[in-house]
Structure 1
Amino acid sequence: MVEWGVRIMSATVRRDGGRWHVSFTTEVERVERMPAQPDSVVGVDVGIKHLAVLSTGLLVPNPSHLAAARSRMRTLSRAMSRKTGPDNRTGRRPSKRWERARARLARAHAQVANLRRDGLHKLTTRLTAEHGTIVVEDLNVTGMLANRRLARHVADAGFGEIRRQLAYKTVWNGGRLLVADRWYPSSKTCSACGAVRTKLALSEREYQCQMCGLLIDRDRNAALNLAALAAEFDTAGSGPVAARGADRKTRACGQVALKREPGTTPVGQTGTVPPQGRTTDHALTKAHSR
C-alpha cells in the first residue's frame, strides 16, 4: 500500500458476532477539504420520532433497527435458553447446540449494530460535507439512558455516536461544530420572536408561541434556534471560529461549546425573554475533546 501513499502502522484482529475483523491503523497524507457550502449553517435536533430534524426542513427518519429486530432476537434468546449452557459452579461446559444458538443471537445483535453504524455514518458524512457550520445540543445521554421508558429508544438511535462522528468529521472537512449548552431551551424558545414558554410537555409535538402566534413543529423550531446560535456566537465578542478547523493540531479543533448563562437575550435572538425585557450576554467557551 506504500505506492498508494498509505503506510500501515498497526493491525488489530478481533472477533465480533461470530466473524473475524482486521482493523488497520494507517498514516496517510490527508488532502485539505472544504464543505460544499462553507458559509452554510445548519441546526440539528436529534430525537426519537425523527432521528434528526434539520433547520433546513429536512426530516431524517429513525430506522429503529433494534425495534425491528426485537421479535427475532426474543426467538433466538428463548431457543438458546432451552439448550444446555455452561455452569461455572459445577464446571459444566456448554453443549454444541447452545454454542450455535449463542452464535446466531450474536450475529443478530451484530447486524443491528452494523445497520445503525452505517446509517449514522451516512448522515454525519453528508452533513459535514455540505455545511460549514453544524450546531447541536449537549444532550444528557447518560440521564436519558437512566429513564426506563426512553433508554432502549435512545440507545437504538445512537445520540452520543452522532455527536462523536460530527466532532471529528467537521475537522476532516474543514468545518466547525458548535455545541449549545445543555440547559439552553431550544424547544421552548420561539424561533420567530425569541419568547420562551415556561412549560412544554413532551407530548406537545407542535410549538405555538403565546406572543406572536407562531405555529411550528417543535423539533423544527428547536433546529432553527440552534442554527441561530451560530450567528450569535460570531457576534458575541469571542471572535469568529475558523471555518478551516482541520488546520489546527488538537482534536478539539472545529468544536465549540456555547454556554448559556442565567439571564436573557434581546427579542429576535435566541434566549429567554422575560416581561421586563432585560438582556445579558452569553458566555462562549471552547470545548476540549477528551
Structure 2
Amino acid sequence: MRVVQAYRFALDPTARQGAALASHCGAVRVAFNWGLAQVKANLAQREAERSYGIPEDQLTPALSWSMYGLRKRWNQVKDEVAPWWAGNSKEAYACGLTRLADALSNWRDSNSGKRKGPKVGFPRFKTKRRAARSMRFTTGTIRLDGHTHVVLPVLG
C-alpha cells in the first residue's frame, strides 16, 4: 500500500522572502500569458490560412496545448522572453504553463460536449490586478526545518 500525504502551511515571510514570493507569482503570470499568446497567434494564423483557401494538410502546424509541449517551447525561448527567469524557481513557470494547459483543455472539452455544466470561455490574459497571486511547488527539494518551518526551493 502506498500512502501519499500532503501538508498545507500558512507562511509568515520576511520582507525579502515576500518580495521573492511576489516575483514567483509574477513568473507564473508571465508564463501563462506567454503561452496564451503563442496559442492565440497559432490559432489566428491557422484561421487566416483557412480563409485564403489553403488545404488543411498545408496549414501551419498546430501548437501542442499540453503542459509538456508548452514547457518544451518555453525552455527553447525563455532567455529571450524572460531574461530574468533564473531568479525564480522552475516551479513557477511550470505552474503557469500547467494552469494554461488545464484552462485550454477545459475550454476544448466544454466546446466539444465532453465537459458537463455551463460552457467554459477561452482563457484570458492575466493582469497584475486580476490574477490570483498563488503558485504551487510540486517537485524539488521541499523540506521541513523542525516543526515550525518549511524550506522552499530558491525562496528558503
* Fold agreement, TM-score > 0.5: no
- TM class by smaller structure: 0.3 to 0.5
Q: Of the two, which has the highest radius of gyration?
A: 1
Greater helix proportion: 2
TM-score by length of 1: 0.23
Q: Which has the higher contact order (CA 8 A, sep 6+)?
A: 2
TM-score by length of 2: 0.35
Greater strand proportion: 1
